Amino acid sequence: MTEQPVAGRKPLFRRAWFWVALVVLVPALVLGGMYLAAMFAWDGFGSAPETVDCEEAMYSAGVEAVPADMGVVECDVIGIWDTSMAIHFVGPQEDVDAWLRSEFPETELGQDPCDDADYEECAHVDPDSADAPESGWSVELRAIHSSDDTVSLSVLASR
């Protein structure tokens, strides 16, 4: 037994707002679902940084390679749309200081610009500063000092 519409009222499929909502909502839901499915299927979404050759990472970031006596820990490419290079290495305090003076002579590491509690000293080099790499990237320098007179330095370069 089918219900009859109330006298004087149009059935749902004969109302203008029904068709407008159908024409707008269905494509929006389908496109939104396709977008979300593509983003979650993409390997770079929410995944770990991609490890790359350290020489390539340093060249892309616009800085010279670290001295051979420093232990390069890892070099990564970070980011989904904006590319960033992360170079992490450990070396004796004197060697790290010498490398920093040669690459960034006008930049001093300090406690003030550190926004991450894990790092003891930080510095930021803008693309328009005197110490800016030739690549035009901005650079974050972050250091952690160890008790054995070594420094763990992270060089984060981004466009």
Cβ-proximal residues to 89 (8 Å cutoff; 6+ apart), any chain: 66, 70, 71, 72, 73, 152, 153
Question: Percent of the chain, pLDDT > 70?
Answer: 83
Confidence grade of residue 43 (pLDDT, cut at 50, 70, 90):
low
Tell me the mean pLDDT in the region 2-6. 62
Cβ-proximal residues to 14 (8 Å cutoff; 6+ apart), any chain: none
Cα–Cα separations (whole angstroms), residue 34 to 23, 31, 42, 153: 17, 5, 12, 42
Total residue length of the chain: 159
Judged against a pLDDT cut of 70, whether residue 46 lies above it is answered with no
Judged against a pLDDT cut of 60, whether residue 1 lies above it is answered with no
Residue 32 pLDDT? 93
Judged against a pLDDT cut of 90, whether residue 57 lies above it is answered with no
Residue 31 pLDDT? 94
Query: Which range has the worst mean pLDDT, 77-81, 117-121, 124-128?
Result: 77-81
Its pTM stands at: 0.63
